[in-house]
């Protein structure tokens, strides 16, 4: 129900500044994630697990790509959370899974999920949090605050990528963006609400 509720919130929100493709993809993603979560908890199969966990990765990756879509950079590190360009975007990955659900037999679903070129949701959340810190803090403060947080909360390979590769590039990409104090406070308030909901979802 929580995922369907999120889908309706996306539908009802009237002030999106993102492209309609991103907005529509989030609607479809939350609806699909509701099915995937039920599938996983009801079947306890590999396919069910992939439909749940991989769709969280797709939703978070699509949200991240929407958030950085306006940045003036072509860096794959910033735009795709990868040193080398990926073969598909979050939106395309989502479309592939929906097409799979309609046209392919369930015995082929695991292979489709394994073929997706998307970052894991742990990496997506780490990148999103670091990008937010880059907007709100000075570069020096961003590095000093986020480095121990990322190293403490993520596995070694994720932390190494974020600290060594991602953080310098996202700081460069956001260097010319200057937000007012009021806007920073608004972002912090909205982000805090999102974090509370995510923590509640994991605890639940």
4-38 pLDDT tens trace: 667 777 777 777 777 777 777 777 777 777 777 77
Kindly state the average pLDDT of the residues 71-92: 93
pLDDT of 132 reads 92
pLDDT of 1 reads 64
pLDDT of 124 reads 93
Kindly state the average pLDDT of the residues 28-52: 77
Q: What would the two tokens of residue 202 be?
A: 């994991």
Residue 200 has pLDDT above 70, yes or no: no
pLDDT of 186 reads 85
pLDDT of 53 reads 81
pLDDT grade for 172, boundaries at 50, 70 and 90: very high
Question: At 116, phi and psi to the nearest 5?
Answer: -65, 135
pLDDT grade for 84, boundaries at 50, 70 and 90: very high
Q: What would the two tokens of residue 76 be?
A: 């794959």
Nearest residue to 22 via CA among 57, 66, 77 = 66
pLDDT of 54 reads 85
pLDDT of 4 reads 66
Neighbours of 18 (CB within 10 A): 15
DSSP 174-203: TTT----HHHHHHHHHHHHHHHHHHHHHHH
Buried b (16+ CB within 10 A) or exposed e, 21-47: ebeebbebbbbbbbebbebbeeeeeeb
Of 37-41, 49-53, 141-145, which has the strongest mean pLDDT? 141-145
Q: pTM of the predicted model, to two decimals?
A: 0.82
pLDDT digits (tens, 9 = 90+) for 112-168: 888 889 999 899 999 999 999 999 999 999 999 999 999 988 889 999 999 999 999
Kindly state the average pLDDT of the residues 178-199: 79
């Amino acid at each position: 129900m929580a995922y369907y509720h999120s889908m309706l919130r996306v539908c009802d929100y009237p002030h999106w500044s993102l492209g309609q493709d991103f907005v529509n993809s989030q609607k479809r993603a939350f609806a699909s994630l509701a099915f995937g979560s039920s599938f996983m908890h009801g079947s306890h199969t590999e396919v069910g697990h992939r439909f749940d966990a991989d769709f969280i990765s797709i939703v978070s990756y699509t949200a991240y790509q929407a958030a950085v879509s306006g940045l003036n950079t072509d860096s794959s590190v910033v735009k795709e959370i990868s040193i080398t360009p990926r073969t598909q975007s979050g939106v395309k990955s989502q479309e592939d899974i929906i097409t799979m659900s309609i046209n392919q037999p369930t015995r082929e679903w695991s292979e489709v999920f394994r073929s997706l070129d998307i970052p894991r949701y742990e990496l997506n959340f780490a990148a999103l949090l670091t990008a937010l810190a880059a907007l709100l803090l000075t570069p020096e403060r961003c590095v000093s605050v986020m480095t121990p947080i990322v190293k403490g909360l993520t596995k070694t390979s994720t932390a190494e990528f974020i600290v060594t590769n991602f953080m310098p590039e996202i700081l460069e990409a956001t260097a010319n963006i200057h937000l007012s104090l009021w806007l920073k406070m608004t972002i912090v308030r909205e982000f805090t609400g999102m974090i509370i909901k995510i923590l509640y979802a994991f605890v639940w």
